[in-house]
Structure 1
Amino acid sequence: MPDLSDLALFQLVATSSSLTNAAQKADVPLPTMSRRMAHLERSTGRRLFLRGKGGFQLTKDGQSLADELTGLPELQNRITRWLSKTEHTPVVRITAGLWTSQFLAQSLPAIAPQTWVPSFVPSNAQLDIARREADIGIRNSEPDHPWLARQKLRNITYAIYAKSDAVSGFVSLPGHMPLPPSQAWLHREFSSKIALTATDMRLCLDLARSGHGRIVLPCFIGARDEFLTQLSDPIEDLTHDEWLVSHHDTRHDPPIRAALSALKTALLSTR
């Protein structure tokens, strides 16, 4: 069964002078438009276009489909009106590491618009945005998938923090657990000085706040903590860029676009 959104894009192609013009009207990247039209042909089992030097021309089946879609704009308008009358607010699923998720959970309510609500999927695993396991991801490295849109946000630094009267050892995750880069660095560089462990980084933070030891934190978390003082320069081995990632096909949807803007504003405010 053809996707309704693909049919709407097809109608734009059918009524435009070129695929490029249709892509511009839809505010969709040209490669995405071409890919969506190829998907529509596969889903219908019909050849809808003649592709050549003259661009995309409708075949007989393509013209027949275009005729059948004459009432589609009015249907879309009716659906839009129906949606506007409901109280449902679109949910945007956001995945990020623990500290970024914590910061956003504290910062977004003051700036998030009412056209969307966040649903946090805190995870250090890179959920597959291409398979729609999440709508937006905040990543520690640039994605290599061409169908993912990306924006480089900021440079993330880490440092050692502690309460002023803390003991000299470190608080850390135990070494037998899968370790994020900051904890792996700590075990590699200061394994003999790890005095206390906990299986949750939030517990590690609470222990450090109570003076049970030092902790390695991203500076955007440590600098905001009223109980902790930065004891080291930024750790070069842990410094990395941060990327805001979404799917090319959904990044222009109003809720996703609004969420991307709000996330960017919140995250860049920590620099």
Structure 2
Amino acid sequence: MSFMNETQPSLDDLVLFASVAQAGSLSAASRSTGIPLPTLSRRMAALERSLGRTLFQRGPKGYALTADGRTLSAELTGLSDTRRKLERWLAAGDDSTPVRITAGFWTSRQIARALPPDPDRAWQPRFVPANAMLDVARREADIGIRNAPPDHAWLARQQLAPIQFAIYGIPGIRGFVASLPDVPSQRWLHANYGDAIKASASDPRLCLDLAEAGHGQIVLPTFVGDGLNTLARQSEAIADLQHDSWLVVHQDARHDPPIRAAIDQIVSILMTE
């Protein structure tokens, strides 16, 4: 005689399972959810026990979904989004909903400076670090501004105005201020004018402060440099640095009213700068 397992699976564990299935590995899901790896492993084992099904094939290369695991993953499509919307609604109360934005420093600065304060706005900006494009796919951010269109099928995209760069400085000042060569504009500067770098800082805002104080010229996006009263453009647009710009958002979130409102305002800012 057999008995049905009367222990109901935890909704929290089902949400975590959906995260593991979407992330493709336990370690990636641990990073995206903030749940320690040992805890996540125990939760998945508890879920299997409560369901009486084997959801994972465990091997030296990590966890892979079984046939039952793949079926359950398909059934849970949208569960993480529903849970996230509920959490945002509970956290927001009567206030506006936080919308997480990931973009480069200068783009984030431009959005922050151009976004008018509005106590009645349905969303509030929450800037998060500009990490990999996959952050948006894993819902670690709601809106991302990227230099290339996404290659993930579940990411929607909208092309923005192209980005140009030029050299800016106080007339008569020679040499350059640089930051770390971890973005294309700074790699270009180090490659072409490395011997002329007179000052450096890891913080782009501090680099601008140094240039405004006369320590050297600086390479800036034209949407930043052309709006400064303290520095003048010292070059034409640098052809090697021009690139496209894209707004990306998870396709399941783009019609969420706060995110839709944020998209409209951000596009309005970045298409006119």
- Alignment TM-score > 0.5, same fold: yes
- What band does the TM-score fall into relative to the shorter chain? 0.5 to 0.7
Q: Secondary structure at the match of 2:160?
A: strand
Is 1:42 aligned with 2:48? no
Counterpart residue number, 1:95: 102
CA distance in 2, matches of 1:269, 1:110: 19
Counterpart residue number, 2:137: 130
CA distance in 1, matches of 2:271, 2:211: 26
Deviation at 1:126, TM superposition (A): 3.6
Counterpart residue number, 1:152: 159
CA distance in 2, matches of 1:116, 1:198: 34
Residue 208 and residue 43 in structure 1: after superposition, are their counterparts in 2 closer, same or farther (change >3 A)? closer
Counterpart residue number, 2:270: 267
Counterpart residue number, 2:178: 172
Whichever of the two has the greater Rg, that structure is: 1
Residue 41 and residue 172 in structure 1: after superposition, are their counterparts in 2 closer, same or farther (change >3 A)? closer
Does structure 2 retain, via aligned residues, the 8 Å contact 1:163–1:227?
A: yes
TM-score w.r.t. length of structure 2 = 0.65
Is 1:221 aligned with 2:224? yes
Counterpart residue number, 2:257: 254
Q: Secondary structure at the match of 2:114?
A: helix
Deviation at 1:219, TM superposition (A): 0.3
Does structure 2 retain, via aligned residues, the 8 Å contact 1:158–1:217?
A: yes
Counterpart residue number, 1:191: 194
Counterpart residue number, 2:214: 211
CA distance in 2, matches of 1:258, 1:152: 17
Corresponding letter in the other structure for 2:165: Y
1:233 alignment partner, one of 203, 227, 236? 236
In structure 1, list runs of 5 or more residues that go unmatched.
Answer: 4-37, 45-78
Counterpart residue number, 1:24: none
Does structure 2 retain, via aligned residues, the 8 Å contact 1:111–1:262?
A: no
TM-score w.r.t. length of structure 1 = 0.66
Does structure 2 retain, via aligned residues, the 8 Å contact 1:137–1:244?
A: yes
Percent identity (aligned): 51
CA distance in 2, matches of 1:209, 1:224: 13
Write the mapping of 1:41-120 to structure 2, written as runs, cut at 5 A.
42-43=75-76, 86-110=93-117, 114-120=121-127
RMSD: 2.5
Per mean C-alpha deviation after superposition, the further-off stretch among 194-203 and 208-217 is 194-203
Counterpart residue number, 1:18: none
Corresponding letter in the other structure for 2:125: P
Residue 127 and residue 145 in structure 1: after superposition, are their counterparts in 2 closer, same or farther (change >3 A)? closer
Deviation at 1:86, TM superposition (A): 4.0
Does structure 1 retain, via aligned residues, the 8 Å contact 2:100–2:142?
A: yes
Aligned residues: 195
Counterpart residue number, 2:204: 201
Residue 234 and residue 138 in structure 1: after superposition, are their counterparts in 2 closer, same or farther (change >3 A)? same
CA distance in 2, matches of 1:41, 1:141: 29
